[in-house]
């Protein structure tokens, strides 16, 4: 097991390939962050390293949990090389009222400092529930029209 097997299970598509609906981007993000659960990393021989990095214990390969590997950031934070620090439109930004990496509590900082992905998984899951409800409401409204 290795970083390669981990990516096959938890990050099979690059973030930039998942820039579609918020639902698709949230699902991609949740899958990636579930891969950071210690048991999931352990079964692939990975461990939390410094900051946002996870490391393959054998090959010393790394994977960064950052805006380059986040489908939501690909749409809402990055536009070419221009950083939009307010992340307007991102479901996490809408929920927290500010970017997830600047919010209080800051689920991203928890992972960076402790390796605990659970706050980010919970935040993304809540956003997915909200987006699912909004999508269903829109579909119901369209059916009525």
> What pLDDT, on a 0 to 100 scale, did the predictor assign at position 78?
55
Residue range(s) defining the domain that contains residue 34 = 3-144
For 42-49, the CB contacts below 8 A with 24+ separation are 43/1, 44/1, 44/2, 44/3, 44/5, 44/6, 44/9, 45/1, 45/2, 46/3, 46/6, 48/115
Number of folded domains in the chain?
1
At residue 82, the pLDDT reads 54
- Digits of tens for pLDDT over the chain (145 positions)? 789 999 999 999 999 998 889 999 999 999 999 999 999 999 999 988 877 888 887 767 889 999 899 999 988 885 554 554 678 889 998 888 888 877 667 898 899 888 999 999 999 999 999 999 988 888 777 777 7
């Amino acid at each position: 097991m290795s970083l390669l097997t981990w990516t096959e299970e938890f990050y099979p598509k690059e973030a930039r390939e998942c820039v579609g609906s918020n639902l698709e981007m949230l699902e991609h993000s949740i899958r990636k962050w579930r891969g950071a659960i210690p048991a999931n990393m352990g079964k692939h021989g990975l461990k939390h390293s410094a900051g946002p990095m996870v490391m393959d214990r054998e090959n010393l390969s790394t994977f960064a949990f950052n805006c380059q590997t986040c489908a939501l950031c690909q749409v809402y934070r990055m536009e070419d090389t221009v950083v939009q620090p307010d992340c307007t439109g991102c479901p996490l930004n809408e929920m927290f009222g500010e970017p997830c990496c600047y919010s209080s509590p800051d689920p991203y900082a928890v992972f960076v400092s402790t390796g605990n992905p659970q706050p980010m998984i919970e935040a993304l899951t809540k956003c997915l529930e909200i987006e699912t409800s909004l999508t269903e409401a829109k579909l119901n409204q369209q059916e009525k029209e």
